[in-house]
Structure 1
Amino acid sequence: MMKDKQAVQFLEQLKLLYPAAFKRNYLFYSMIKTKGLLDELKEFIPWLLAAMIFISISMSLGAYLQNTWPQLSEFRAKGLAVLAVMLFFMLITPLVIKQMKHSSVSLYKQLCHTPIKLAVIILLQAINIAYVESSFLQSLLFFFAMSFGFVRFYKENLFRDHSDSHQYYYLQETRRVCFWSYKQVLKIKCRRLLCKRNSKKLNELKQQQQQFQILHEKALGFEHQLCKSFKHLDLNTYLENMMK
């Protein structure tokens, strides 16, 4: 099991070597971390935010569409507004998953198929608008869209009972380092395209790229070790521990 002291030493060392990794380097997932599968009131926070933001937007957009195009029925205006929010989720989800892929192995495995789920929901909503016209089905699809497109990214659960806010901080900071080092590799690759072959600058960039690749692999491995120490990696391991 990874100890807190090891995490502190790892992060302090990186802050001295790469202070830029901890500045203006944001991750758009795991804003809230909860213990187990359900963690009392914390479970309601992302849903409350989703309702305040996306339901409000869909209602406002639906009213706007109905006023702008009076020939649209009330159901279709609201349905198109809901569909627009779903398409927004579909747009931002690959970007968040891209961050996960290069900063958290376990979370990426859990959520990498989210765009497919959203695509199915969007298709069903389009069919509902065109043919079915069911308000209940629309509400159900909107619920799942908010769950897959917002709540599951905003909240990360399955943390162990002994985990605390300090450990959550260590984990998230390590993930920031992972993604920052990946971005540095991409930047260097782009800069290499502008360099002449066999030039001194190109050789320097190759060395820098190799250093950041090593850092990324090291940080990603460390993040995975922290995950194994601080949380249950998936639902199966969580249920197995609950049965013991």
Structure 2
Amino acid sequence: MQLIDIGVNLTASQFDGQHRALLERAEAANVVQMVLTGTSLAGSEAALELARQLDPDGQRLFCTAGVHPHDASHWSPASERPLAALLDERQVVAVGECGLDFNRDFSPRPAQEAAFEAQLALAAHKQLPVFVHERDAHPRLLAILKAYRDHLPAAVVHCFTGDRQALFAYLDLDLHIGITGWICDERRGSHLHPLVASIPRGRLMLETDAPWLLPRTLRPKPKNGRNEPAYLPEVLREVARHRGESEAELAAHTTACARTFFNLPDLD
């Protein structure tokens, strides 16, 4: 059984000095490939450098490059050239994390929308998939995405936490869905239990969003309270339970989906 974690914030300070041990634990848990998340220009450069350093052969570690809506106030037309250069690198497999966050509004909404549209245009030009962040913004996000969707090879709504209406609107737009340990949280994620069964095979992928979103069902709980890719099997277990699938069956089709979506190499 092989698993792919499509969203790991490996550049987070919580992992400093622990990368190789973390990768060893992930491999022991059958997490064989990971996509490291870029959330700013500097952060995307750091993710690429980490992927190169830890996986010089470029078979197991990959990354996204983009500007998160929290950082959108720093976006300008001058941002496009360095981002476009990053997107030409071999281990960069998607544009993002980009999108809209109307929950925290760390950047003004017009700035978020401008940065998102510019990155969608880049993704269309480069023919790369998009790694999308959305929080409390799905009607506006959909309106923007619809204008670009026919020109994009694919897009995934990462860490989906929305309701039935949002899910089906995304599926109707032929988007992929990323599910995290949010589904393991009995306080705020139980609404996802009936929804995950509605995500078609070939459109569902799994992720940890580590070091955040530690699955609350995990036993024993790590004393440091930090999530990591080695805990992706806990997300697998919970999703499989609510889809009525075996863990092996779910692992097979979500891994195949991630490989196709991000154009990752097959591993023996």
- Short-chain TM bin: under 0.3
Q: Greater relative contact order (Cα 8 A, min sep 6): structure 1 or 2?
A: 1
Q: Would you tell me which structure has more helix in proportion to its own residues?
A: 1
Q: Would you tell me which structure has more strand in proportion to its own residues?
A: 2
Structure 1 or 2, whichever has the larger Rg, is: 1
TM-score w.r.t. the length of structure 1 is 0.22
TM-score w.r.t. the length of structure 2 is 0.21
